[in-house]
Chains A and B, each alone.
Chain A
Amino acid sequence: MADVVLKNVSKRMGSSQVIDGFSLDVANGEFVTLLGPSGCGKTTLLRMIAGLETVDKGDVLVGGKRYNNLPVQQRNLAMVFQSYALFPHMTVAQNIRFGLSIHKAPAETIRRKLAWSLDMFGLSGLEDRLPRQISGGQRQRVALARALVLDPDVLLLDEPLSNLDAALRDTAMEELKRIHHQVGTTIIYVTHNQVEAMTMSQRIAVLSAGRLEQYDTPRAVYDSPATRFAASFIGSPAMNFLNGAVEVHGEDAGVMTPVGFVKLDKERFTSAKAMAGRSVTVGIRPQNIAYAEHHESKRYSDTTLSVSVELVETLGDRSLVVSRGENGTALRFLITRDIDIEPQEMVEVFLDGRRVHLFDPQTNANVFSF
């Protein structure tokens, strides 16, 4: 086991800067997720840690040792690929033994580890099957078993669940969490799926275009997104954004937006007052907008808005309402399934002032985070 530190890592591919001055520290035994849309460089970053891609600038340190020019074979890292990359001509047992036999492990060790991994990953009875003869979920577990029998310092996972169906993915997520708990290996996990990132990781690194947008616990990333990108990428349905300017009306600080004056909570009054007149982008999650009739106790910091319903999408347990404010600005919010709202209806909603995020329109950074 080891910690991983990336210092100002950069990478060019052809004419595009894939990774741009990226820094990250992963503690020993931590489960960290690199989260971002496709093409943001997260897989490249993982391959750079593994040594499958060269590092143009900056340092990759694993367990305090500089890894930049260390050949892949000499790094004690294991990687699970999106395609699993199981050797199609080897059986499950041969796939799991492959790395051990390369490291010239004694026969007794190989036997013990094989038995341990078959048991750990529920693969007993499949030893002699070829990869094409087992299911997708089993293949994913073989890939994990093959990586973990090598006792890697760091386990690198590249979207290992993206080829599984939804039900299997939920089980696999629980599995991975349990395995991390039992084995305690440092895990760096790459995904574009925010649910996977939120569910499993201890910290999430949100990436966009090869840059780190935010690096924090899942809860912190959700509650106080550092940038507009982090805010929009995490949370479902996506956050509402409104442009406006900070204003102070008597006792209340808030933002004047196209849909009306959006109040901020009292705690931020002083800092908001200091930036009066500044243009900002207001972000508020659909979860933090309440349907007024259902929301009996309006808090002081809530803003009441009148919107016209455009359409109602059923999500199962809840429904997403797409509505428009007075001058046509879209606003999405959630209602419980027992509420009946029809399109064209005018309804009142409360915006939770404590959950209103402000972003700088130029830098896209959260104006309240330092």
Chain B
Amino acid sequence: MSEAWQKVKRFKIHEVWPLLPAAVYLVGFLVIVGAYLVGLSLSFEKNGVTVFPTLRTVAAVVSNTEFRHALLDTALFVIVGTPLELAVGLFLALVLYQQFRFRNFVRSLFLVPLAVPALVTATLLFILFDYPGGHVNFLLTGKYAFFPAILHAPVNWRGSEVFALGISMIGKVWRDMPISMLILLSGLNAIDPELFDAARTMGAGLRTRIWRVVLPLMIPSMSAVILLRSIEMWKEFIFPFILAGKYPLLGTLIESMYNDWGNSNGASAVAAILVLCIVVTTLLFLSIMEFLRRKLVRT
């Protein structure tokens, strides 16, 4: 009691001043929006009458086959897309870590995707994979002289679930690879190069050096990439919105529920479940990384 009182007495307003904007921001976006979201999810509307609190909306959403399908697709999108982005980023980081001519130029070249608006990238992919007259179809059916015909008839890429979501994922990974590349490159640059020399003098070949020196030391930066990128993958909207209209992910499902069906309670419930998914998988990823770190360190 007296201790708490001491704390209150020591409290000085000027010490928390700088924190105030952040606090307002947190309250505004987390608490108010979060509460509103939960409130909408826990309301059910029928014949103009709103019932609150109830799990009927959540139950309706969860039992909806389209939602279940979207959840599964989104989970696959995250599970395949995040490691893909990590792998591409790691590969590029390892390449750019080497000393070669025009290295800085090549590095800036790899930053270009970030400068292109996602909508433009998505639209370009839309045009490339159009049916029946997209460039990819023209290419594969032998319409261009420099490439042999592989297919007899054009493929409706965006009409196939695997391709539509696959193209969305490729677009997403292409656009965001500079972020993971830069994070991993800075992680790589933070490692003392003498560690690699030391490992070599102790008889370590390239594989041993990568597995037992580089990767364990890269775990912090790889965790950061997985953490940041998996959240982005869960939330992804623009690529599937443009390229996979028929096969919604959770992000696009929210939009269609709200705009096409006018169901703001359902949309909120999907959004709340999406947030829950992010929290759960983030914790899961972190514990896997911690496990790996312990595993790789053992000699």
Residues of A within 8 A of B (CB): 47, 50-52, 72-75, 77-79, 81-83, 85-90, 94, 97-99, 101-103, 146-147, 150, 156
Contacts and interface: CB of A to CB of B under 8 A. Distances in A.
Contact of B208 (A74, A81, A88, A102): A102
Contact of A98 (B192, B194, B299): B299
Contacts of A103: 203
Interface in B197-221: 197-205, 208, 212-213, 216-217
Q: Is the interface of B mostly helix, strand, loop or mixed?
A: helix
B297 interface: yes
Nearest to A94: B299
A290 B216 CA distance: 62
B286 interface: no
Given A83-B192, A88-B217, A102-B208, A52 B197 contact: yes
Contacts of A85: 192, 194-195, 197-198
Interface of B: 192, 194-195, 197-205, 208, 212-213, 216-217, 293, 297-299
Contacts of A101: 299
17 contacts: A47-B197, A52-B197, A72-B200, A73-B204, A75-B201, A79-B197, A85-B192, A85-B195, A85-B198, A86-B198, A87-B199, A89-B297, A90-B297, A90-B299, A99-B203, A147-B201, A150-B202
A98 B166 CA distance: 42
- The 3 A-B residue pairs with the shortest CB-CB distance, nearest first, are A99-B202, A85-B198, A85-B194
Contact of A79 (B198, B213, B293, B298): B198
A101 B298 CA distance: 11
Contacts of B197: 47, 50, 52, 79, 81, 85
Contacts of B199: 87, 98
A90 B217 CA distance: 10
Contacts of B198: 79, 81, 85-87
B297 A94 contact: yes
Nearest to B204: A102
A72 B196 CA distance: 11
Contacts of A102: 202-204, 208
Q: Is the interface of A mostly helix, strand, loop or mixed?
A: mixed
Contact of B201 (A72, A86, A94): A72
Contacts of B212: 98
B201 A77 contact: yes
A85 B200 CA distance: 12
B11 to A, nearest CB: 36
A96 to B, nearest CB: 9
Contacts of A75: 201
A147 B197 CA distance: 13
Nearest to A50: B201
Nearest to A52: B197
A97 B201 contact: no
Given A52-B200, A85-B198, A73 B213 contact: no
A50 B200 CA distance: 9
A124 to B, nearest CB: 19
Nearest to B213: A87
Contacts of B298: 94
Nearest to A130: B297
A89 B201 contact: no
A97 B195 contact: no
A151 to B, nearest CB: 12
A323 B59 CA distance: 98
B204 A81 contact: no
A101 B195 CA distance: 17
B205 A73 contact: yes
Contacts of A72: 200-201
Nearest to A83: B194
A76 to B, nearest CB: 9
A147 B200 CA distance: 12
Nearest to B219: A89
A118 to B, nearest CB: 15
A98 B196 CA distance: 13
Given A73-B203, A94-B297, A89 B194 contact: no
A50 B40 CA distance: 68
A301 B52 CA distance: 113
Nearest to A103: B203
B241 to A, nearest CB: 42
Given A83-B194, A89-B217, A89-B297, A78 B204 contact: no
A73 B299 contact: no
B202 A78 contact: yes
Contacts of A73: 200, 203-205
A211 B34 CA distance: 72
A81 B196 CA distance: 11
B216 A89 contact: yes
Contact of A52 (B201, B203, B204, B293): B201
Contacts of A88: 195, 217
Contact of A146 (B195, B202, B213, B293): B202
B192 A97 contact: no
Nearest to A82: B194
Nearest to B191: A88
B134 to A, nearest CB: 48
Nearest to B201: A79
A259 to B, nearest CB: 49
Q: Which of A74, A75, A89, A94 has the most CB of B within 10 A?
A: A89
B162 to A, nearest CB: 40
Contacts of B213: 87
Contacts of A94: 297-299
A71 to B, nearest CB: 8
Nearest to B193: A85
Contacts of B192: 83, 85
Contacts of A156: 201
A87 B200 contact: no
